[in-house]
A and B are shown apart, each in its own frame.
Chain A
């Protein structure tokens, strides 16, 4: 039975970049830390990793008027409804849960890495040591037990909330109405709607590594919606034509070449 669809809403206007969610995520999912180097930013680790499923991105940004702003964005799986990763996964390791989220059955993953390039948000990460893929599953086991995801629970400012889909979309638009003109809702207008949404204080284009119009890549659609069925249709049609040829025209028999040289085919 289809359960309630959930949406996790990330209000960047309330985020103080304390990174509590990053730590809570690692704790709940028992992911170790990797040693990193300071590259002149509080952003640490520098990017999502197989063992870092959510990351606060710190971005120094100056708008058109030259006003400086520090943008914080909690990056991680967006849990798409039209999920390119699920579309390309050959093993079914990536799947939609009853909550509409995208979970990963790691024991089924064969480490083919097809999901890594298919994802419009560049989320899945590969671990060479285990030959498997890792990413946020929106704390599927916690949702299953009626608990909030670890990141939501840890957030001290209430920037991360979770709830039923319809109510959360409504809450997002209500919140944006109260904010100044630039603030936008991000997530409900593409890839069938994501199950993680943002309230962005700036235009989406202002954010690093955030596509303004994410979609399932054209190459994935060609591959899975056209070439895949036509592999069977093509081979089947050719086999059918060969059978018809055999029945109608018959095999191409060998004939002795007659003297005088008329060649019968």
Chain B
């Protein structure tokens, strides 16, 4: 089988990785430029990118990219991220990350924490895109809609920004061997047995 070579297993396909980085890149760029609007004293952000007016259009453009990437990521991952009964147990045990716990229910492709992250990004991503569209032309909307869009846009940025930090930690140094799932797409069989045992058993047979 071409998706396993010696001890390595292909866990993501190129489309998944491109979609992920489009989403992540536009999200991070929006976060960075957005902080430039939020904190007037952080003048280094607009000065790096050609001033606050340029920043406005970069933020809008990046936001549009984020919107399309979000729709793609949603259609691609929603089935993998649908909750199942075992997820409650996984959450109760803190995913084994926070305290000593007995063995966790075996995970399929994504664990309950990853699924939660996905759904938070979908919900607050949709919210931040829709409110962003209102903020692009607030004069076309009733004043109450425009006013609350600004507040909800900031709230969504707070939520996505905080979850991004968790995602960054758990996707890199917090879980050694994970990051390559989003670079080469190949992870070790041992990694798969730890993180997605049921998916591994379903898709790949042990090498002879």
Contacts and interface: CB of A to CB of B under 8 A. Distances in A.
Interface residues of B, number: 50
Contacts of B190: 254-257
Interface stretch (A14-22, A74-82, A189-197, A238-246): A238-246
Interface in A92-122: 92, 108, 110-114, 116-118, 122
Contact of B104 (A222, A245, A265): A265
Interface residues of A, number: 44
Contacts of B97: 245, 249, 252
B161 A231 contact: yes
Contact of B176 (A122, A219, A254): A254
A263 B103 contact: yes
B52 A230 contact: no
B165 A110 contact: no
A144 interface: no
Contact of B147 (A220, A227, A255): A220
B104 A263 contact: yes
Contact of B96 (A110, A223, A252, A256): A252
Given A249-B97, A254-B190, A220 B150 contact: yes
Interface string A203-245: 0000000000000010110110001101100110111001001
B53 interface: yes
A257 B165 contact: no
B177 interface: yes
B37 A90 contact: yes
B174 A245 contact: yes
A139 B144 CA distance: 31
Interface string B41-84: 00000000000110110000000000000000000000000000
A227 B35 CA distance: 12
B89 to A, nearest CB: 13
B180 to A, nearest CB: 12
Interface of B: 35, 37-40, 52-53, 55-56, 96-98, 101, 103-104, 106, 135, 137-139, 143, 146-148, 150-151, 154-155, 157-159, 161-166, 169, 173-177, 188, 190-191, 193-195, 197
7 contacts: A90-B40, A113-B137, A117-B138, A220-B147, A227-B151, A237-B162, A264-B103
